[in-house]
């Protein structure tokens, strides 16, 4: 039995698997997972738990692998996202299993759910794709590719739309599993983006931000605490500058102002702040952005940046 019936959603950032600067071998990925997952194993005594995760480097590697091989047909992005949900779900499950065994816990079940996330085909993001994915090309290589390519700071890259998540298709299944005390791993890589065509779903070439998909899931399932775990201790003003200042809490109003002032870049800190704000604005109780080391401390209020309604 849990000590409370509160539900915790932990969104794991890309460096839960591959740290910045690492090559990203499978051994490194398993090793890195121990830090967040050991905390989640302990927290499972107290909370019902949902784990979501990013997939940037993993889907990037799959794209690169298929660019290197012409012997088999190329797979669309939605299929690659599905592959990474299976791959990373498996890695989280085995790590969780080991960590639970270390704690002598043998009554905690868990499951990975392949997750679709509905997006709107009229989302303005489809008119102006901005999310770079996959390998970096030379200008010459890029010219012969059948994709939309943008010149980025790193070089020429394929860009896809990053539409807003509308709803998580498996929300009822996830809720049921949580009520049955399963730890649920889901919405990997922000979910497989689909559009609704009458009663059917159709996969679409896009990438959903995993923090925004996690906020949507947190809202739809009715999560109590939403933790966004990444590779910095929290949210900073003037990040990376001499006068950088990490915040312990931030109100919705302050967050809106700091977004306007440009403190949070799109594609890294901005979606995290927006995800936390959305969760709180739609009735969520607590949302904390913290480091992977400090998931437990963030829950007990000793670490990270908490997004609050007002002071």
Task: By CB under 6 A, name the binding residues for ligand ADP.
Answer: 13-15, 54, 230-232, 235-236, 239, 263-265, 268-269
Is 210 designated active site?
Answer: yes
The closest of 25, 58, 49 to 99, measured between CA atoms, is 49
Q: Which of 171, 216, 270, 272 is catalytic?
A: 272
Residues 6+ apart with CB under 8 A from 142: 149, 156
Residues 6+ apart with CB under 8 A from 23: none
**Closest residue to ligand ADP in the complex (CB):** 13
Is 120 designated active site?
Answer: no
Pick between residue 25 and residue 238 the one whose CB is nearest to ligand ADP: 238
**What six digits make up the tokens of 54?**
């990013």
CA geometry: angle at 197 spanning 194 and 200, to 5°?
75
Pick between residue 133 and residue 177 the one whose CB is nearest to ligand ADP: 133
Q: Which of 32, 55, 131, 189 is catalytic?
A: 131
Is 216 designated active site?
Answer: no
Least distance (Å) between residue 9 CB and ligand ADP: 15
Is 14 designated active site?
Answer: yes
Q: Report how far residue 288's alpha carbon sits from residue 229's, in angstroms, rounded to the nearest whole number.
A: 8
Least distance (Å) between residue 36 CB and ligand ADP: 11
Is 273 within 8 Å of 228 (Cβ atoms)? no
- Angle between helix 77-102 and helix 56-67 axes, rounded to 10 deg: 130
Is 2 designated active site?
Answer: no
Is 292 within 8 Å of 16 (Cβ atoms)? yes
Q: Which of 32, 188, 210, 234 is catalytic?
A: 210
Pick between residue 54 and residue 132 the one whose CB is nearest to ligand ADP: 54
Q: Which of 13, 14, 56, 234 is catalytic?
A: 14
Pick between residue 199 and residue 241 the one whose CB is nearest to ligand ADP: 241
Residues known to be catalytic: 14-15, 131, 210, 272
């Amino acid at each position: 039995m849990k000590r409370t019936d509160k539900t915790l959603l932990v969104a794991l950032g890309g460096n839960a698997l591959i740290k910045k600067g690492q090559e990203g071998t499978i051994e490194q990925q398993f090793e890195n997972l121990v830090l967040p997952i050991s905390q989640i194993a302990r927290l499972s005594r107290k909370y019902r738990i949902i784990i979501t995760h990013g997939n940037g480097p993993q889907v990037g590697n799959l794209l690169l692998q298929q660019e290197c091989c012409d012997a088999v047909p190329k797979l669309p992005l939605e299929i690659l996202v599905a592959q990474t949900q299976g791959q990373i779900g498996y890695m989280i499950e085995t790590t969780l299993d080991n960590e639970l065994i270390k704690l002598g816990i043998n009554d905690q079940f868990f499951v990975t759910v392949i997750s679709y996330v509905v997006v709107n085909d009229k989302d303005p993001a489809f008119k102006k794709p901005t999310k770079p994915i996959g390998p970096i090309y030379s200008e010459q290589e890029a010219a012969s590719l059948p994709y939309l390519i943008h010149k980025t700071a790193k070089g020429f890259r394929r860009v896809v739309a990053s539409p807003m998540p509308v709803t998580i298709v498996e929300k009822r299944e996830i809720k049921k599993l949580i009520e049955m005390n399963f730890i649920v791993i889901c919405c990997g890589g922000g979910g497989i983006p689909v559009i609704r065509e009458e009663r059917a779903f159709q996969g679409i070439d896009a990438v959903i931000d995993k923090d925004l998909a996690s906020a949507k899931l947190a809202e739809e399932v009715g999560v109590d605490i939403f933790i966004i775990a990444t590779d910095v201790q929290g949210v900073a003003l003037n990040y990376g500058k001499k006068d950088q200042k990490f915040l312990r809490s931030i109100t919705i109003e302050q967050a809106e102002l700091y977004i306007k002032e440009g403190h949070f870049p799109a594609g890294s800190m901005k979606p995290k702040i927006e995800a936390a704000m959305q969760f709180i604005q739609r009735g969520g109780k607590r949302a904390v952005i913290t480091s992977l080391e400090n998931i437990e401390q963030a829950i007990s209020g000793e670490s990270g940046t908490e997004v609050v309604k007002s002071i």
